[in-house]
């Protein structure tokens, strides 16, 4: 025996994770391990102890002339057998040693797995224990904001036998609904790229999954997928292909045909579909998780990158086996809590919805904010949309799109009142203002709105604003520069910041940078800003990496540092904190979005409709 279970597991992990020559080796020495019928005390791992056990881990395997029943085929050559024979000149220190029997002999002969004989296998074995300590593959922060549902189907057959069965007619109604609602079925490969890199997905993305490998998947599902050009993932367990279960089954020939179609992704669903992988021994998990992958890859001639837990049951140990096997992602399920993909703990615990939730959940499908625009460029053409997020416990309402501008009112009002009778679709309370008089519209720092009068700030107060973000808006872009009281309290000083003589239409001084150059700002950057470290309701605005303007508020109290970190996760390129606390207010289409009556304000940042949305609303007058 190996001196510890972890060392034995390391050896098996190494064998299971290899390729090329490694696969030839493990085909010889693990022939019995992949077939439960031969996992007996007489034909299994036996103990070999020696004087060098401290430095070399010894294991013995007895031979079997039987081919594995589960799909692996051994084609050893004489050259390979000769290479596997022990070499007395090898240094046995820090090595693994086993024995095997050539196919044409009844005599077992030792092999040595060392840096010299099998360097790849040696490296894998040496690092296997370290791999067990690695964190599970994480989901990209930007992908967590998206809402991608995976819908799970099982058998598709003309007459239902259990409540979650679906008839072919019902399935086509589902596909027609998907088409009518403008939903976009995506592949598992595209979803993985989104989750790993945070890239945006197509509009209203969903994913279709079919579990277990029923015959109806080929007879009914596959023709409909081709008809509607929808990608899907089929999760199959190996024993199902024997056709000995009570329900219909795919055949290997059918599965091979499916595997060749770019619309179809094949995922491993184990060998025997045990109801609870958590209850299995490591030896059994080695077979169900690792060997199922190898069998499918050999029979189908494609890489198997994904795994689906039977009945969704798994724990950290099961996930370690999935990670050691080399799966990129694993699908789960839960009868207690169905979640969107981005709400999953990690890539090896991806949540799904039952197919009955299609019409309930799919209206929320959203692929995330757009990707990065040209460096430093802006996009003021997008339609204005509102979304809510809960990221790390911080609840936000964010409105994006359109063209940014400001309104400096003649007194203090509620934000929806300031928006009234203007083109503004959305507005958030803006810069700091003087509280000296209730009806005052006097701002702290210089201000200008929509090309109107430039109003300098109070000369005695301005130096306290030095270093805070001076926001300069124009028709084509926005600029954020550190405020300098000596240079920016005059129109000429502000104009001097203009690029290429671009007209500046709006100017004001924000409270602080939350995100600057795509990085959340640290504690020390906030200087002497009042209560920046205290959880409060906060308002903000900025430019997303897509170049689109965004405004928003926190629905629950949050400190400035944490808010900046969340906005960085959401992809803000620049984000500026606005007047917060009691003044925090956000309105959309004339309605307040905060659950309290905020303090009236004289200044707001607004989103005006883009030219494209105006044309959509007014129609095409060219005819």
Q: Tell the burial category of 310 from Cβ atoms under 10 Å away from its Cβ (0-12, 13-18, 19+).
A: buried
pLDDT for 120:
54
pLDDT of 171-226, one tens digit each?
A: 999 999 999 999 999 999 999 999 999 888 999 999 999 999 999 999 999 999 99
Distance of CA 437 to the CA centre of its chain: 50
pTM of the shown model: 0.74
Residues of the chain with pLDDT under 50: 1-11, 13-113, 124, 126-131, 615, 618-623
SS (H, E, C) 366-419: ECCCCCCCCCCCCCCCCCCEEEEEEECCEEEEEEECCEEEEEEEEEEECHHHHH
| Per CATH, domain 141-364 is 3.20.20.370 | yes
In three-state secondary structure terms, 176 is: helix
Does residue 352 contact residue 333 with C-beta atoms inside 8 Å? yes
Residues of the chain with CATH 3.20.20.370: 141-364
Going from the C-alpha of 347 to that of each of 143, 327, 336, 344, 403, the distances in angstroms are: 12, 10, 20, 7, 37
Tokens in use for 419? Answer: 């928006």
Q: How far is 86 from 108, CA to CA, in rounded Å?
A: 11
Residue whose tokens read 């056990």:
53
For residue 478, give the H/E element and its range: strand 478-482
Token code pair at residue 547: 């170049």
**What is the pLDDT, as a whole number, of residue 243?**
84
- 10 Å CB burial of residue 534 (0-12, 13-18, 19+) is exposed
């Amino acid at each position: 025996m190996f001196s510890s279970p972890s060392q034995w597991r390391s050896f098996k992990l190494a064998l299971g994770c290899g390729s090329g020559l490694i696969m030839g080796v493990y085909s010889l020495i693990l022939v019995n391990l992949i077939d439960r019928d031969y996992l007996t005390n007489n034909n299994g791992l036996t103990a070999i102890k020696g004087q060098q056990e401290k430095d070399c881990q010894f294991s013995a395997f007895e031979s079997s002339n039987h081919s594995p029943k589960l799909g692996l085929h051994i084609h050893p050559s004489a050259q390979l057998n000769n290479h596997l024979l022990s070499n007395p000149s090898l240094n046995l220190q820090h090595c693994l040693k086993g024995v095997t029997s050539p196919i044409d002999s009844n005599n077992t002969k030792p092999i040595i797995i060392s840096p010299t004989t099998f360097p790849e296998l040696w490296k894998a074995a040496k690092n296997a224990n370290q791999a067990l300590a690695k964190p599970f593959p994480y989901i990209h922060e930007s992908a967590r904001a998206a809402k991608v549902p995976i819908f799970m189907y099982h058998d598709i057959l003309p007459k239902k036998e259990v409540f979650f069965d679906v008839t072919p007619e019902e399935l086509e109604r589902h596909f027609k609904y998907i088409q009518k609602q403008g939903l976009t079925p995506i592949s598992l490969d595209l979803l993985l790229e989104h989750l790993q890199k945070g890239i945006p997905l197509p509009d209203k993305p969903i994913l279709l999954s079919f579990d277990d490998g029923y015959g109806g998947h080929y007879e009914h599902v596959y023709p409909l997928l081709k008809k509607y050009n929808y990608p899907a993932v089929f999760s199959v367990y190996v024993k199902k292909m024997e056709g000995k279960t009570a329900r219909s089954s795919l055949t290997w020939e059918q599965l091979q045909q499916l595997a060749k179609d770019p619309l179809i992704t094949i995922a491993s669903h184990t060998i025997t579909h045990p109801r609870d992988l958590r209850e299995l021994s490591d030896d059994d998990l080695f077979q169900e998780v690792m060997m199922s992958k190898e069998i499918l890859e050999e029979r189908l001639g494609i890489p198997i990158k994904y795994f689906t837990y039977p009945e969704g049951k798994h724990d950290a140990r099961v996930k370690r086996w999935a990670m050691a096997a080399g799966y990129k992602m694993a699908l789960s399920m839960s009868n207690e809590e169905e979640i969107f993909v981005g709400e999953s703990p990690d890539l090896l615990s991806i949540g799904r919805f039952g197919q009955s939730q299609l019409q309930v959940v799919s209206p929320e499908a959203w692929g995330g904010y757009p990707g990065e625009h040209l460096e430093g460029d802006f996009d003021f053409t997008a339609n204005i949309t509102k979304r809510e997020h809960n990221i790390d416990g911080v609840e936000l309402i964010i409105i994006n799109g359109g063209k940014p501008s400001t309104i400096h009112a003649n007194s203090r009002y509620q934000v929806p009142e300031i928006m009234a009778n203007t083109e503004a679709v959305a507005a958030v309370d803006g810069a700091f203002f003087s509280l000296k008089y209730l009806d005052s519209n006097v701002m702290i720092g210089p201000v200008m709105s929509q090309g109107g009068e430039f109003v300098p700030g109070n000369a005695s107060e301005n130096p306290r604003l030095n270093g805070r973000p001076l926001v300069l808006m124009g028709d084509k872009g926005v600029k954020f520069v550190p405020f300098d009281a000596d240079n920016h309290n005059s129109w000429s000083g502000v104009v001097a910041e203009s690029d290429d003589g671009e007209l500046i239409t709006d100017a004001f001084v924000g409270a602080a940078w939350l995100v600057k150059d795509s990085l959340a700002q640290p504690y020390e950057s906030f200087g002497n800003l009042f209560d920046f470290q205290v959880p409060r309701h906060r308002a903000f605005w900025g430019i997303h990496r897509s170049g689109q303007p965004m405004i928003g508020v926190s629905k629950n109290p949050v400190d400035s540092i944490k808010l900046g970190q969340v906005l960085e996760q959401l992809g803000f390129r620049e984000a500026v904190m606005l007047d917060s606390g009691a003044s925090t207010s956000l309105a959309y289409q004339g309605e307040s979005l905060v659950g309290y009556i905020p303090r009236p304000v004289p200044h707001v940042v607004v989103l005006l409709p883009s030219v494209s949305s105006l044309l959509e609303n007014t129609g095409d007058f060219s005819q």
